[in-house]
Structures are given as structure tokens and as C-alpha cells.
Amino acid sequence: MKSIKSFFAKKNFKNFKNMLKGRQNHLNRSIAGNSLLFVIMAVCGLFMAMPLIMLTNNALKPLDELYQYPPNIFVRNPTLTNFTDLFSLVNLSWVPFSRYIVNTIIITGISIAGHILCASLAAYPLAKHKFRGRDFLFGLVIMSMMFSSQVTQVSNYMVISALGLSNTYPAVILPTFAYGVGLYLLKQFTEQIPDSMIESARIDGASEWYISFHIIMPNIKPAWLTSAIFQFQVIWSNTGRLLLRDEELKPMQYALTQITASVGREGAAAAIAFVMALIPITFFLVCQSHIMETMISSGIKE
């Protein structure tokens, strides 16, 4: 009797809350607290989004508004001239601009796929197996993240040219496979997979490879997608200036920054700043929405 009563009480409480917030799976929430959080997030959000707003508005400003005083954040006479300027500049590029785009797709696609495969394969034994040298090897990965990349760039260049990879796609692709941040993230998520799940698969006669591909990998997809976001950013900020000499091999981000580098192109530069931000944001949104989907569909935990 008592349990039925409390069941209804809880249910009523939830319904009431749903009207206000639409969050069903959390107990212990007060309306006042929810409203306070909403206000905090609105204020902070505005502060965080401010530069995005300015970036968008600048891209739409005609030249005279870009130099206006007092400076105005919001555009008055929005125009797409900056983008048409950019488009005509892009058509003047050394090799057809589509070539740069293809290069970016090849480099980014293979890098992310290869990295996620290598790192998830390695994450499983590092998180769940016992073998000699495990902690030492994993310690090396973490420590390697702490050495300034500005210094290793030079020795990295030496290694790559000693291997004869300089000025080829693999020069920029292969090192990204061994991206330590991604391995670390995947290993941390693999640790959270319950041992009982792996044990029962073993009892059913599954090999370690089968477990890795069919139990571990599907369950760490949120980590995959998060790691893909990080790696996309790393690749996107790397113009390959040191390692790729042929114009035919260079990625789009290189070509775009080259246009900004020349003087007297404020308008096109504003458009480029917008595009340079838009592409990683799009990638981010695609990955984030998939994270939500996988979480809804899987329900993996014990």
C-alpha cells in the first residue's frame, strides 16, 4: 500500500516537473534551481557566443562598415560581396580549388578512420588486459602529450624525411594515427565497460578480437565521435606547410590562409574567417548529434 502511494507521488512530481522542464530521468531537482541555471547559462552563453556573432556579422558587412567608428557589432546593410570576392579570389588559385578540397577530404578521412581503428584496438588491452609493460606503455603516451609540439616539429620533420615520406600524403596522415589524446580518451571510456559483459562473452567462447570488434567498439562510440572532433580540429589547424611542398598535395585550409595573408582583402578575409569556423562547427554538430543517437539506442551499462 505504502509503495503504491509513493509510486504515485513520484509520478505526479515528475509530471509536474515535465511541464516546466521536460527532463524525465532526474530526481532531486527544484524549479527554482532549474530557473537559476537557465539564467546563468543565458548570461554565460552570450559571453561565449559573442565572438561567433561578431564573426558572422563581420562576414556580412560591406567594406565601409568594417572600418566604421564607433564600431558596430551588428551589420546594418548585410551583403554577400565578401563571399563573391572570396569566390573570385578562390578561382585565381594556383591549382583548381577543388583539388585543395579533395586533399582535405583525403587527409581528414583517412586520418580519422585510421586513428580510431588503431586507438580502439589498443584501448581494449590497455584498459582490460594484464600484460607486462602495460602501465609503462600507457604512461609513455600520457607523458608524450606533455612535450611541446613546437620543439618536436623539427625532429618530427627529420624522422619523416629520413623515412622518405616527405612531400607525400602519408607524411601528414600517418603521425595522426598515433594521436595520444584520442587513445587516452578511448581507453578511459573502455574502462567503464563492465567486466561482467566481457566475462560473459568469453564464457560464450568469443575470442579477444571478437570482443574488441563486437563488444568494446560499439560501446565506446561516444568516445569515437568525441575523439573524431578533437582530431578534426588538429588536422584543420595543420596546414601541412612543412611537410607538403607540392601545391597539388596541400589542403584547403592552407589555400584559404594564403588568401588572408595578402594585404587589402579585409572583406574576403572576413568571409574566410567565417568559412574557417563554419566547417569545424558543421563537423562538430554532425558528430554531436550522432553521440546523442548512440546514447539513446544503446543503453549499455550494467
- Residue list 141-200, contact with other proteins (CB under 8 A): 141-148, 150-152, 154-156, 158-160, 163, 174-175, 177-178, 180-181, 183-185, 188-189, 191-192
User: Which 3 state secondary structure label does DSSP give 12?
Assistant: helix
CA distance 133 to 226: 28
Write out the binding residues for other proteins, residues 203-232 only, by CB under 8 A: 208-209, 212, 222-223, 225-226, 229-230
Burial track 257-286 (b if 16+ CB lie within 10 A, e otherwise): ebbbeeeebbbbbbbbbbebeeebeebeee
CA distance 18 to 31: 11
- Please report whether residue 285 would count as binding other proteins according to CB under 8 A: yes
Total of residues contacting other proteins (CB under 8 A): 101
Per-residue contact string for residues 19-58; x = within reach of other proteins by CB under 8 A? --xxx-xxxxxx--xx--x--xx--xx-xxxxxx-xx---
Per-residue contact string for residues 105-144; x = within reach of other proteins by CB under 8 A? ------------xxx-xx-xxx--x-xx-x--x--xxxxx
Smallest gap, in angstroms, from Cβ of residue 152 to other proteins?
4
Smallest gap, in angstroms, from Cβ of residue 282 to other proteins?
10
Contacts by residues 293-297 (CB-CB < 8 Å, ≥ 24 positions apart): 294/221, 294/222, 294/225, 295/222
Q: Which of 93, 110, 242, 280 binds other proteins (CB under 8 A)?
A: 280
Burial track 14-43 (b if 16+ CB lie within 10 A, e otherwise): beebeeeeeeeeeeeeeeeeeeeeeeeeee
The residue among 204 and 302 lying less far from other proteins, judged by its C-beta, is 302
Per-residue contact string for residues 233-272; x = within reach of other proteins by CB under 8 A? x--xx-----------------------------------
Q: Quick one: which of 106, 83, 89, 85 has its CA closest to 251?
A: 106
